[in-house]
Amino acid sequence: MAVIPIILCYLLGAIPFGLIIARLYGVADIRTRGSGNIGATNVGRVIGTRAAVWVYLGDIGKGVAAVLLGRLFAANFDPGFFSYDVFLVACAVAAVLGHVFPVYVRFKGGKGVNTGLGVMITLLPYETLLAFGIFLLVVLLTRYISLGSMLAGIGLFAIVSVEKHVLGRPVADVYFYLTLVLALLIMTTHRQNISRLLTGRENRLSFHSRSGEAGSHG
């Protein structure tokens, strides 16, 4: 029984909001424009800020919904051999993997940042808000969304690590490993961004619609 909601969370995470919203704004396939990514940043650069906001809300929202679905199931059914926290994390990871490898669009999705934000702000709200502060600070200082995303992912892992191993707070082991996996996943999906940052070719944040640019995340 516990496998069913995990599969549902994957299917929920796989909904390609970037592709759907772009089509509503008249772009038949956002994958052929800009960086080719279906994330909110590429949608914003190609179409505009308003369209990007809808994609951000959709991608973050499906992460939140996945964890809430897990909680609803755990409150009414026995998750079997899963503990409560492990079951919620399994639902969260399934949603993020759905976003990165969506079955609906041949397993070529976004980079997991926004859906990861949705699941983490539902599981660990205070730690995630601190990590989001890191993201905002880096983006304001550098205007590199990709750099802010990577440092926020690393920062979240660092915050949870300090809480658990330095401050001795009762943080379940599964959240320590989850934040580690998410940080590694974000770094992995941003390989091309890292290369562009090192060579000075990464695009900075702009509020203008400009097709043909690379460096999106989502």
Written as six digits, the tokens of 39 are 């994330």
Q: What is the model's pLDDT at position 212?
A: 42
d(CA 6, CA 20): 23
d(CA 23, CA 118): 24
pTM over 0.85: no
3-class DSSP state of 21: helix
Per-residue confidence in pLDDT tens, the chain, 218 aa: 789 999 999 999 999 999 999 999 999 999 999 888 898 889 988 999 999 999 999 999 999 999 999 999 999 888 777 888 999 999 999 999 999 999 999 898 888 889 999 999 999 999 999 999 999 999 999 999 899 999 999 999 999 999 999 999 988 899 999 999 889 989 998 999 999 999 988 888 765 544 444 444 55
d(CA 201, CA 99): 26
d(CA 64, CA 140): 26
